[in-house]
Structure 1
Amino acid sequence: MQKKDSIGRWGEQVASTYLCKNGFTLLGKNFSCRTGEIDIIARDTKTNEVVFCEVKTRLTAHAIHGEDAVNWYKLTKMKRAAQWYICKYKLERAFARFDVIVIERKNTKSASLRHLRNV
């Protein structure tokens, strides 16, 4: 389990760096409430949307692609957690969207990243 957690944390760090370099402002990481959790919350400075991101990190040998692991059930839990976040931080007037960032680690020196917007 520890290896899986460290790969996930590494992927979230890569995703955070990517978002910052591409015009996003990080608002939070690993937000958790009783209805679910969200890996990264950011503001897209180009559209002013609050973006709730699920990060999926995979080793290339993994059989299931990261985006395939984000199913209806996971999205429902993300939406419920996002509602808590929006209420907690009084963002009711903000536009929101849900993104998935998939990172496939090829070896210790390279990885590919796909950013799926508005899933």
Structure 2
Amino acid sequence: MNRRALGAEAEKLAEQYLRAQGYLFMARNWRCRSGEIDLIFRDERVIVFVEVRSRSNTSRYGTAIESIDARKQRQVRGTAEVFLYQQRLSANAVRFDVITVHFQGDNDPELKHWHEAF
């Protein structure tokens, strides 16, 4: 599976997981000039911006969670600000979560939800 297909599959699995947890879907791959947010959900009164990261091999580039560096965090926060402004939701509480998906050959993917990751 190529990198793009792997990422799309990870986002699909993350979305299914969050829906099963009772989160309310708001947007997928929301884009603006400053970047993209993979998934946006509502968890009761909190708007949750979710960055999805996947890996099939951790020895080459490190783990999925390690790939969320300070630059990526700033980019996601800035994009979230634009979303909140455009949707007139700036008064809402927000949270930034990460979902990592580790694909392990023929085994089921391992999904981990990092609440308030940054």
**TM over 0.5: same fold?**
yes
Q: Which residue of 2 aligns with 1:93?
A: 91
Q: Which residue of 2 aligns with 1:114?
A: 112
Please tell me whether residue 57 in structure 1 is matched to residue 46 in structure 2: no
Kindly tell me the number of residue pairs found equivalent between the two proteins: 115
Q: Quote the offset at 1:32 in angstroms.
A: 1.2
Unaligned runs of 5+ residues in structure 1 are none
Q: Quote the offset at 1:53 in angstroms.
A: 0.4
RMSD: 1.2
Structure 1 stretch 72-81 or stretch 33-42: which is displaced more?
33-42
Distance 1:86 1:108 in 2: 40
Which residue identity lines up with residue 88 of structure 1 in the other structure?
Answer: Q
After superposition, the C-alpha distances for 1:26-78 in whole angstroms (9 at most, x for unaligned) are 10010111112110000013xx200000000111x232110000011000000
Distance 1:108 1:34 in 2: 38
Which residue identity lines up with residue 80 of structure 2 in the other structure?
Answer: A
TM-score computed with the length of structure 2 as normaliser: 0.92
Distance 1:116 1:62 in 2: 18
Please tell me whether residue 20 in structure 1 is matched to residue 16 in structure 2: no
Which residue identity lines up with residue 54 of structure 1 in the other structure?
Answer: E
Q: Which residue of 2 aligns with 1:35?
A: 34
What is the percentage of aligned positions where both structures have the same residue?
27
- Moved runs in structure 1, 4+ residues, more than 3 A? none
Q: Quote the offset at 1:102 in angstroms.
A: 0.3
Distance 1:53 1:76 in 2: 14
Q: Quote the offset at 1:107 in angstroms.
A: 2.2
SS in 2 for 1:103: strand
Match of 1:70 among 68, 71, 76: 68
